[in-house]
């Protein structure tokens, strides 16, 4: 039997408003939320009660080495509520010494005193949803914060890190926002670097069904950078960050030495993790399970789960954590790549099957290897940086096609 996961994700679905690109499971509560008392407090506190019920329902508990509190906008909560959640894990699972406890924060939803409250609650790493340093682009993306909010947040985090109150912090930016261009993007990158965040995540804008951006796109009212502009943005990002000492350790993530996200590496290594909360996805023993995205359905599910433990994916089983194609996909996302032959043997294939299937995979990857997009050192294959990482989708699509054909 596999050991229980040592990582947990907690979803806090509440937001002031839904951003124009967002298709996450969120509950907008308006601009005047007060999480303990006042506007939205009843909704929040009822949800937290169900969230704690779900956390306590797990039978196979083990001390945790990473906890990630995401959303939504977790910084809508009071520091006391964050402490209460962390205490539930500490009392019922255990939290290892030196554990990484990360919390997402939004520049418009907290003050410096709140930041210190979250630190006292046990959070030692923060992920700041900046998205852009351009007020006009933020407004057009439906963001609530502005440049002043963002710069204040960066300054507080930088100061907390300098005073050794936190171990690390991360800044999130979105590449290729509507109306953006290469000049705007270069300014964004340079403003971000002014605050010396130890970790930076760069996400490409994806237009998802059901979002404001999707409706605007369908109406022909969304001016997005084309593929050539997007590629130039990626090249610029890589060049500027490398010149400032950042390593691109995963397709979307850069860090200075010692500040990679330990929690996210759990996903990329194909290890198991717990997940709790509306719309969140867990994979403790190899099978992914996503909870209901709507509040009422989630609460009904929690009550049933507590009574009869109806979800089999949450029970300890002896089976591989992930299918081979997903292991390959995750392994190729990270800088060090993946030992493909080892994965094939772990799959249970004998030497003949391994060699045969590897030959077929190398055939579909021939052009990528010739062009330098995909590299290898012996049996370890990895994407080149920046070209391979920027064109990773092409490599992965061909891999998924190979997987379908051999199955």
Question: Would you place residue 317 in the very low, low, confident or very high pLDDT band (cuts 50, 70, 90)?
Answer: low
- pLDDT for the residue 285: 86
Q: Answer whether 356's CB lies under 8 Å from 363's CB.
A: no
Using a pLDDT cut of 90, give the percent of the chain over it: 87
- pLDDT for the residue 1: 47
In 205-333, beta strands by DSSP E: 247-250, 253-255, 274-276, 281-282, 289-290
Angle between helices 79-92 and 112-121 (to 10 degrees): 10
Domains of the chain, residue spans: 7-268, 324-406
Q: Which fold has domain 7-268?
A: Transcription Regulator spoIIAA (3.30.750)
| Model pLDDT for residues 18-39, shown as the tens digit of each residue | 999 999 999 999 999 999 988 9
Q: Which is it for strands 281-282 and 274-276: parallel, antiparallel or unpaired? A: unpaired
pLDDT at 2 over 70: no
- pLDDT for the residue 266: 94
- pLDDT for the residue 134: 97
- pLDDT for the residue 311: 84
The domain at 324-406 falls in which architecture?
A: Orthogonal Bundle (1.10)
CA 14/CA 30 separation, integer angstroms? 10
Q: Please state the pTM of the whole predicted model.
A: 0.95
Q: How many CA atoms lie within 13 A of 338 on its CB side?
A: 21
CA distances from residue 123 to 15, 20, 114, 127, 130 in whole angstroms, order as listed: 20, 29, 12, 11, 19
From 40, 118, 115, 46, select the one nearest 82 (Cα to Cα). 118
Write out the two tokens for 36.
């303990």
pLDDT at 319 over 60: no
| Model pLDDT for residues 252-261, shown as the tens digit of each residue | 999 999 999 9
């Amino acid at each position: 039997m596999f050991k229980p996961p040592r990582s947990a994700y907690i979803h806090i679905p509440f937001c002031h408003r839904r951003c124009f690109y967002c298709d996450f499971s969120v509950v907008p509560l308006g601009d005047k939320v007060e999480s303990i008392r006042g506007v939205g407090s009843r909704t929040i506190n009822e949800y937290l009660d169900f969230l704690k019920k779900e956390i306590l329902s797990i039978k196979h508990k083990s001390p945790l080495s990473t906890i990630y509190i995401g959303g939504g906008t977790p910084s809508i909560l009071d520091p006391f509520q964050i402490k209460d959640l962390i205490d539930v894990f500490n009392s019922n699972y255990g939290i290892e010494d030196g554990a990484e406890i990360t919390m997402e924060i939004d520049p418009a939803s907290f003050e410096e005193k709140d930041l210190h409250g979250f630190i006292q609650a046990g959070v030692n790493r923060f992920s700041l949803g900046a998205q852009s340093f351009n007020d006009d682009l933020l407004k057009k993306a439906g963001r609530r914060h502005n440049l002043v909010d963002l710069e204040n947040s960066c300054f507080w985090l930088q100061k907390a890190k300098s005073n050794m109150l936190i171990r690390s912090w991360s800044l999130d930016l979105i590449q290729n926002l509507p109306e953006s261009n290469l000049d705007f993007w270069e300014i964004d990158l340079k403003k971000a670097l002014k605050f010396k965040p130890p970790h930076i995540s760069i996400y490409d804008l994806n237009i998802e069904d059901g979002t404001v951006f999707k409706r605007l796109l369908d109406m022909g009212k969304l001016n997005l950078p084309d593929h050539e502009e997007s590629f130039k943005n990626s090249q610029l990002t890589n060049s500027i960050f490398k010149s400032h000492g950042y390593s691109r350790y995963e397709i979307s993530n850069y860090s200075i030495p010692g500040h990679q996200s330990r929690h996210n590496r759990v996903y990329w290594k194909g290890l198991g993790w717990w997940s709790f909360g509306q719309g969140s996805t867990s994979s403790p023993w190899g099978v992914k399970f996503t909870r209901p995205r709507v509040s009422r359905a989630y609460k009904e599910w929690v009550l049933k789960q507590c009574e009869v433990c109806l979800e089999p994916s949450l029970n300890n089983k002896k089976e591989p954590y992930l299918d081979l194609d997903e292991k390959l996909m995750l392994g190729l996302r990270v800088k060090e790549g993946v030992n493909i032959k080892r994965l094939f043997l772990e799959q249970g294939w004998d030497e003949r099957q391994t060699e045969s299937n590897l030959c077929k995979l190398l055939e579909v990857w021939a052009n990528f290897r010739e062009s330098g997009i995909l590299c290898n050192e012996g049996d370890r294959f990895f994407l080149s940086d920046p070209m391979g990482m920027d064109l990773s989708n092409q490599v992965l699509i061909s891999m998924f096609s190979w997987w379908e054909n051999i199955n």
